[in-house]
Amino acid sequence: MKVFADQLPGALAKRLPKVVIVAGDEPLQHRDACDAVRAAARKDGVEERDVLDVEPNFAWGRLFEVAGNLSLFATRKLIEVRLGRHKLGQEGAKALAEYAEGLRHSDDVLLVSMGKLDARQQKSAWFKALDKHGLFVPVWPVDASRLGFWLRDRAQRHGLQLELDAARLLGERTEGNLLAADQELQKLALVLPANARVSMESIARGVEDSTRFDVFTLADACLKGEAARTSRIVYGLKSEGVEAPIVLWALGREMRTLLSLHQHLEQGQSFEHACKAQKPMIFERRRPAYQNAIRRLPARRLHKLLLMAQRLDLAIKGASPVPLWPGLHDLAMTLAGGRGLLAETAWTYRVR
């Protein structure tokens, strides 16, 4: 059964399942979810814990050895299988499916922590076999639109009353890096009295910029029409040393997807059908962003943006005089509905 990270403590309070799969790449929520499972297991009388760190050439037979070892001090144990970013592989998938078959006769608790699981992996035999006996916790990054509210709620865990404006500023300075945001809240909790109100001025004075972005965050900001945030992300990617071809690939992929959506809509298909026809399919949670972009960017405009992208590709190869990062900034800003640094007439001239 799927349970989101913020719902996990409530679900564990009702009953401790035999299996919990925590999957995702956002480290803070991933850590909190695993900690919640460990705490629930201790509360339920599970006193022994075995940890299996899966590395290349991991022997999956160890899972059954650990499960079969009887303890002199406890009748139940928590078995943690930590994959991190490693792939499960055929041997691992077979082992987990086989382990699931014996769960009826086991009182142990299995915690599988791993990276993001896509829709195909969630249809696999090993996943279905384990999911029948427990909880699946997908861990997603917090969307920028609700990051301020999330941080305001998070501050209460540390005994702080974070004003919404302060929470939004903290979100801007730590977006993509929730661990840094949580560390800043812990620092504030150490120097301020319990239940202190934290203002925007306090955040402005005491919190350094710890944002971390990736090209997928940039693509989402462009689709949603968040011009100011798009500008900040582009320069953040540049400062972090992200290669220009990767940024151009991400923007080009979104433009081609939007053009494909336009073509399906012009053929009389519904927007939902057009999203399902994309490869990979556009999932429901991302469809409002694409719908927003479709309304804002007609097909003719997207074709012009692809010409801009071609010029930038030549610049990457040293065959065009277009300034690379200002050009990428322009491309992203135009996709987001804003205005870039280079004059549009200059771009028009170069495109021709």
Q: Over the stretch 121-148, which tens digit does the pLDDT of each residue have?
A: 899 999 999 998 899 999 988 888 889 9
Q: 67-85: per-residue pLDDT in tens?
A: 887 665 657 899 999 998 8
Residue 285 pLDDT: 82
Q: Given CATH 3.65.10.10, say whether it is the number of domain 144-206.
A: no
* Residue 48 backbone dihedrals phi, psi, to 5 degrees: -105, 145
Nearest to 117, CA basis, from 25, 35, 52, 218: 25
Helix (H) / strand (E) element for 136: namely strand 134-139
Q: 1-21: per-residue pLDDT in tens?
A: 899 888 999 999 999 999 999
| Mean pLDDT over each residue of the chain, to the nearest integer | 88
Map tokens 């300034």 to a residue. 323
Looking from the CA of 323 toward its CB, the CA atoms found within 13 Å total: 9
Instruction: Report the C-alpha gap between 338 and 228 in whole angstroms.
Output: 8
Residue 342 pLDDT: 52
Topology (CATH level 3) of domain 215-351: Zinc Finger, Delta Prime; domain 3 (1.20.272)
Nearest to 217, CA basis, from 274, 177, 276, 165: 177
Confidence of residue 344 (pLDDT cuts 50, 70, 90): very low
- Asked which of 51-60, 64-73, 242-251, 265-274 is least confident by mean pLDDT, the reply is 64-73
Instruction: Report the C-alpha gap between 235 and 209 in whole angstroms.
Output: 13
How much of the chain, in percent, has pLDDT values that exceed 90?
Answer: 57
Question: Which residues make beta-bridge pairs with 109?
Answer: 78
Q: Given CATH 3.30.470.10, say whether it is the number of domain 5-139.
A: no
| Domain layout of the chain by residue ranges | 5-139, 144-206, 215-351
Residue 207 pLDDT: 76
Which one of 205-214, 227-236, 275-284 scores highest in mean pLDDT? 227-236
How much of the chain, in percent, has pLDDT values that exceed 70?
Answer: 94
